[in-house]
Amino acid sequence: MSKTAGVDVNQLTMKPDIFAKLVELLKVDHRATATGIALQVDSPTVFLIDEHHSSDSLIDDNIAIARTLIRIANVALVGVEGCAGGRITLQDLKNPFLGRCFGGRHRLTAAILGSSGLEVVGVDSPELCNQISEDCQQGKWIPSTHPSEELRSAHMATRLIQTIRERGNIQAALLNAGARHNDDIEAIVRGVKSHDIGADGVSFVRIRSRLFPT
């Protein structure tokens, strides 16, 4: 049975003792924080990794954290913001005109695709992104206050959970998205609308780099 730093990766089902070990490992190895949002035994786990799009150093730290989670937590799926249409390849990143990758930066996506061989899926909504972009260009909203941003957040969580269930054998997945989207997802999971995104029977753990701006 494989073990890393006291964490039994074959039994990482968010039991309290396992979660405590995970928190300690990320604190020691990366000085990162891990917050349990919804911890359920014998359920797949979604790790929400907070990104700050303008910081290369933070994104690089998130890449290192993601690689640790891939190694110790049986992560087999990565969902990413700014891409859609299911499985993403490096070729999709190089040819954004194909419509698969349409917004934001893809530094972590490229790093995971280039090194791990994991399945990376686009979980964003191009329709909502286009709506937000058009409204902001017309001066109706600014991106940080547009009501459709929360819908994007819910869409990303829903698509990742759907993919986990479709694959059938996923123990853990990552969602790399801006911290504000993860704020929305955390509020949904903790609130009365968790069923709307299919979050029943899924554990959520939020990860924040030591380099995240305060």
| Euclidean distance between CA atoms 28 and 41, whole angstroms | 25
> Across the chain, how many H-helices and E-strands are there?
7, 9
pLDDT, tens only, 84-112: 988 999 988 888 666 788 877 789 999 99
Q: What is the DSSP string of 38-76?
A: E--TTS-EEEEEEE-TT-HHHHHHHHHHHHHHHHHS-EE
Give the count of beta carbons closer than 10 Å to the beta carbon of residue 159.
21
Among the listed residues 213, 210, 207, the one whose alpha carbon sits nearest the alpha carbon of residue 69:
207
Name the domain count of the chain. Answer: 1
pLDDT, mean of each 10-residue run, the chain (214 residues) = 45 72 94 93 93 92 96 93 91 78 84 90 94 93 90 96 94 94 96 92 95 91
pLDDT, tens only, 182-195: 999 999 999 989 99
* pTM, to two decimals: 0.91
Query: Is residue 40 in some structural domain?
Result: yes
Domain carrying residue 78: 3-208
Among the listed residues 23, 99, 79, the one whose alpha carbon sits nearest the alpha carbon of residue 197:
79
pLDDT, residue 97, reads 66
Query: Is residue 77 in some structural domain?
Result: yes
Query: Is residue 177 in some structural domain?
Result: yes
Query: Is residue 213 in some structural domain?
Result: no
